[in-house]
Amino acid sequence: MWAIGGKRRIRAALALAGVGALAALIAPATAQATDHRPAGHRFTLPPGTPAPDGDYRVLSAYRVVRGVQIYTCDPAGTWNPASTPEATLARYGRHGRIHHYGGPRWTSKRDGSTLLGAVAKRVPKDGTIPWLLLTATRESGGPGTELYAVTHISRVNTSGGLAPTGACTPGEKRAVRYGADYVFWVPKS
């Protein structure tokens, strides 16, 4: 009797081990797959958002899914407060990705349309990088492309990304993680 129960226990243990191994194999694939889902179904414009003056509407909003602000040590051995972004943005409510990088620039991964931004307004925030309003100039992409009609971009809901502190070696670079939402504005028509 004990031997039969022992075999059952062994089979049950093997079955559980198999389920555990299968779960371990599936988990990384699931984690990788969820990274490509839309950022969420709804975006709400937060109070205090720096927005363009005049008749504009929100075309789309994206969130940072992976992002850093890259700081460079200046010749005096201190961290330059200016930074260069390197981020992947995911669209709220739909599939869509944008690469955000130095310039600052935003390039649609769907069609390659690209914008160049210039800071028009800064809204300081305690403990994080500021919220921004940027004017956008089209670098590439014609009518019908994702970023074609965008004239302004707001950076809001920021977290992290502040410049490092302390001494550094001239030319040294440091990447600091950050989070934010980016709002793409177009003229009302």
Q: Are 62 and 182 in contact (CB under 8 A)?
A: yes
Predicted pLDDT of residue 40: 55
Contacts of residue 80, defined as CB under 8 A and 6 or more positions apart, other chains included, come to: 71, 72, 73, 74, 163
Give me the residue spans of the domains in the chain. 1-34, 56-187
Please state, as a whole number, how many other Cβ atoms lie within 10 Å of the Cβ of residue 181: 22
pLDDT in tens, 78-88: 999 999 999 99
DSSP three-state, residue 188: coil
- Does pTM top 0.75 for this prediction? yes
Query: What is the spatial distance between Cα 80 and Cα 67, in angstroms, rounded to a whole number?
Result: 19
pLDDT in tens, 30-71: 222 223 334 456 899 999 999 999 999 999 999 999 999 999
How open is the CA angle 172-100-181, to the nearest 5 degrees? Answer: 110
Q: How confident is the model at residue 112 (pLDDT cuts 50, 70, 90)?
A: very high
H-state helical runs in the chain:
2-34
Q: Are 101 and 88 in contact (CB under 8 A)?
A: no
